[in-house]
């Protein structure tokens, strides 16, 4: 290794432990001397570079970090509190909504639900026991009456129709009973002309103070029932 | 949480002095150097989970510090060359032979070009190899070695040129 290259390497890195550098040092005393000089220079440089560090620096760094993480935790706590409050608020709203709102939005839905719920109690083979007179007695509370029988009436009584007092009539139908509901005008149930699901059809008639809903199975001609009702019912006042 | 705290404190204790000195030679001002180190360790704390290899901690911190230093210039642009040489002098009282020499050499190191000084500080204080310095400064290794050579060469020349001047301090 020539002298220039050796000097360059030592200047660049006095600690250099490459094999050829070590060999060069070992074989040439002048090179060794030079290397020692530069090592000494490096020691001086190291001493000079080691400027005094402020005494309390480490403590300050730890303090600053402690404050920072405290701040972050406080922020997190606030977020958690806000989250808990929002969840509680949302739950309150939901419960309120579920308890005090109406489950059905239109009369068709409710009529089907009511019919299906009570379907087990009625059969087309039941005896028709209700007379026109007793039906009209009940109709009186809706200020209405029927001039003639609509069909063979199995059952007639007041029912709760989504919390409203209504009259529930069950007639014999073609294959299964036909349900007729007389309900007062309602604000929370939307009037709906005709409605159906897989098994049942329904049709509604709207009068001045009441609606009449007919629900029957798919074989039933609800049109005929409606016409029949229209021509038979009279409303006082 | 506790282990993160322990790691952080160990990191501070082991490396704050080296980092402060590196910062000092980067900006030549004690207060700025201290602020840089504060900012660096705060960022290190927040990102401590991303430090996987403890051996890489020093170069990781130095990278953060260099970025902080660069940010300082984006915020407030001022020219390094306008710095008075006096500001880089250690103002502590000089009383021993060793202190005088350090004092004198500090001036010389302070007046080295920035591009020579930074690799030198990283090598001597940081104990980084040529490759590692090249990685930190995004230079190739040959450039780094040349700069290290020139830095020492200039310091040696300066030392040899001014022995008499140094002597007068003793009087």
pLDDT at res. A84? 92
Q: Hey, is the C-beta of B38 within 8 angstroms of any chain A C-beta? A: yes
Shared-domain flag, residues B71 and B3: yes
Where exactly are the structural domains of chain A? Answer: 3-49, 107-235
Would you say residue A237 has pLDDT above 70?
A: no
Nearest to A154 by CA among A168, A143, A170: A170
Shared-domain flag, residues B49 and B124: no
Residue B89 inside a domain? The answer is no
CA distance B45 to chain A (A): 7
Question: Is B8 close to A41, i.e. CB distance below 8 A?
Answer: no
Would you say residue A77 has pLDDT above 70?
A: yes
Q: Hey, is the C-beta of B121 within 8 angstroms of any chain A C-beta? A: yes
Shared-domain flag, residues B98 and B79: no
Q: Hey, is the C-beta of A29 within 8 angstroms of any chain B C-beta? A: no
Position B86 confidence tier, pLDDT thresholds 50, 70, 90: very low
pLDDT at res. B80? 52
Q: Hey, is the C-beta of B27 within 8 angstroms of any chain A C-beta? A: no
CATH of domain A107-235: 3.40.1000
Q: pLDDT tens for residues B121-167?
A: 999 999 999 999 999 999 999 999 999 999 999 998 888 886 554 54
Q: pLDDT tens for residues B88-123?
A: 555 455 566 767 777 888 888 988 998 999 999 999
Shared-domain flag, residues B26 and B48: yes
CA dist., res. B32 & res. B26, Å (int):
10
Q: Which CATH number characterizes residue B32's domain?
A: 1.10.1740.10
Average pLDDT over residues A59-82: 86
Q: pLDDT tens for residues A184-224?
A: 887 777 888 888 888 888 888 888 888 889 998 888 888 88
Q: What is the ipTM of this complex?
A: 0.78
Give the domain-ending residue among B34, B49, B84.
Answer: B84
Question: Is B37 close to A57, i.e. CB distance below 8 A?
Answer: yes
Average pLDDT over residues B11-15: 90
Shared-domain flag, residues B46 and B113: no
Q: Which of A33-37, A45-49, B75-79 has the lowest mean pLDDT?
A: B75-79
Q: Hey, is the C-beta of A13 within 8 angstroms of any chain B C-beta? A: yes
Option in A13, A45, A68 nearest B105 (CB): A45
Tokens, residue A181:
């509901």
pLDDT at res. B163? 56
Shared-domain flag, residues B60 and B19: yes
Structural domains of chain B, count: 2
Option in B41, B102, B149 nearest A65 (CB): B41
| Average pLDDT of the residues of chain B | 82
Q: Hey, is the C-beta of A57 within 8 angstroms of any chain B C-beta? A: yes
CB pairs under 8 A between A and B: 100
Instruction: Tell me the percentage of chain B whose pLDDT exceeds 90.
Output: 40
Residue B29 inside a domain? The answer is yes
How does DSSP assign B91-148, residue by residue? -SPP-SHHHHHHHHHHHHHHTS-HHHHHHHHHHHTT---HHHHHHHHT--HHHHHHHH
Range of the domain at B140: 94-171
Which residue in chain A has the smallest CA separation from B159? A41
**Residue A195: its H or E element:** strand A194-196
Q: Among all chains, which residue has been given the structure tokens 């004690």? A: B30
pLDDT at res. A87? 94
CA dist., res. B41 & res. B48, Å (int):
10
Shared-domain flag, residues B48 and B100: no
Question: Is B25 close to A49, i.e. CB distance below 8 A?
Answer: yes
Question: Which whole-number Å values give the CA distances from A144 to A136, A151, A177, in the listed order?
Answer: 8, 18, 23
């Amino acid at each position: 290794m020539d002298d220039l290259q050796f000097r360059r390497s030592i200047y660049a890195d006095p600690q250099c432990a490459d094999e050829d550098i070590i060999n060069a040092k070992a074989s040439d005393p002048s090179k060794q001397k030079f290397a020692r000089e530069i090592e000494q220079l490096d020691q001086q440089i190291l001493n000079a570079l080691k400027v005094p560090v402020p005494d309390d620096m480490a403590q300050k760094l730890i303090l600053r970090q402690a404050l920072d993480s405290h701040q972050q935790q406080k922020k997190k706590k606030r977020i958690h509190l806000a989250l808990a409050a929002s969840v509680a608020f949302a739950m309150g709203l939901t419960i309120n909504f579920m308890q005090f709102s109406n489950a059905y939005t239109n009369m068709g839905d409710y009529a089907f639900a009511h019919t299906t719920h009570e379907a087990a109690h009625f059969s087309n083979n039941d005896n028709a026991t209700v007379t026109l007179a007793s039906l009209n007695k009940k109709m009186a509370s809706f200020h209405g009456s029927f001039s003639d029988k609509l069909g063979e009436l199995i059952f007639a009584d007041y029912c709760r129709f989504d919390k409203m007092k209504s009259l529930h009539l069950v007639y014999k139908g073609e294959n299964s009973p036909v349900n007729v509901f007389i309900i007062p005008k309602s604000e929370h149930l939307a009037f709906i002309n005709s409605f159906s699901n897989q098994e049942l059809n329904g049709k509604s008639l709207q009068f001045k103070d009441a609606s009449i809903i007919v629900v029957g199975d798919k074989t039933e001609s609800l049109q005929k029932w409606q016409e029949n009702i229209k021509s038979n019912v009279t409303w006082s006042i | 949480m506790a282990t993160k705290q322990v790691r952080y404190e160990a990191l501070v204790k082991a490396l704050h002095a080296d980092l402060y000195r590196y910062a000092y030679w980067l900006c030549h001002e004690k207060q700025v150097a201290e602020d840089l180190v504060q900012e660096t360790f705060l960022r290190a704390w927040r990102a401590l989970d991303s430090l996987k290899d403890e051996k890489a901690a020093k170069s990781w911190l130095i990278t953060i510090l260099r970025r902080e230093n660069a940010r300082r210039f984006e915020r407030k642009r001022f020219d390094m060359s306008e710095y008075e040489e006096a500001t880089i002098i250690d103002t502590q009282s000089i009383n021993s032979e060793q202190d005088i020499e350090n004092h004198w050499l500090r001036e010389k190191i302070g007046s080295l070009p920035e591009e020579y000084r930074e690799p030198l500080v990283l090598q001597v204080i940081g104990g980084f190899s040529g490759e590692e310095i090249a990685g930190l400064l995004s230079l190739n290794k040959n450039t780094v070695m040349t700069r290290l050579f020139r830095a020492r060469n200039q310091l040696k020349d300066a030392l040899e040129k001014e022995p008499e001047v140094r002597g007068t301090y003793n009087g």
